[in-house]
Amino acid sequence: MGILRSTFRRTLPFSRAGAALWAWQHRKEITGWAGWAVGSAPRLLAGDTRDVVTEGRLRARLSGDARTRAALDGASSDGLQIEVREGVAVLRGRLAPQAHDLVVDVATGTSGVQRVRDEITDAHHR
């Protein structure tokens, strides 16, 4: 155990303060993923693993792109909501037109998504 711990510390030289700072800087993304994980637990227990994995894959692709990450932010109730059911990705919320197009393109190209139902509205028209 001591060898593993020392190897881990050499390869990832994070202090507790550094880890806390990183978590604080990424708190919106962390809470978004935590909320998704908690909400997905009943679906996993019911055996809906394919759609949960596909939704996770889509969320990961969107959060990995700086242009679409803000849409998943969760800072606004109008932000992007994603749900995958039976291979259909349902996208809801209010987004800027540029982000809207990117989100739909990413969803369309995500493995496991058979169809995209786009219910996103333009953020500039309230």
For the stretch 9-28, pLDDT in tens is 666 667 788 888 888 988 88
For the stretch 16-67, pLDDT in tens is 888 888 889 888 888 889 999 999 999 999 999 999 999 999 999 999 988 8
Instruction: Work out the pLDDT band at 8, boundaries 50, 70, 90.
Output: low
Residue 61: C-alpha distances to residues 48, 49, 56, 101 (Å)? 20, 18, 9, 15
Set out the domains of the chain in order of their start, with CATH numbers.
16-122 (3.30.300)
Cα–Cα distance measured from residue 117 to residue 126, given in angstroms and rounded to the nearest whole number: 21
DSSP letter for each residue of 94-116: EE-HHHHHHHHHHHHTSTT--EE
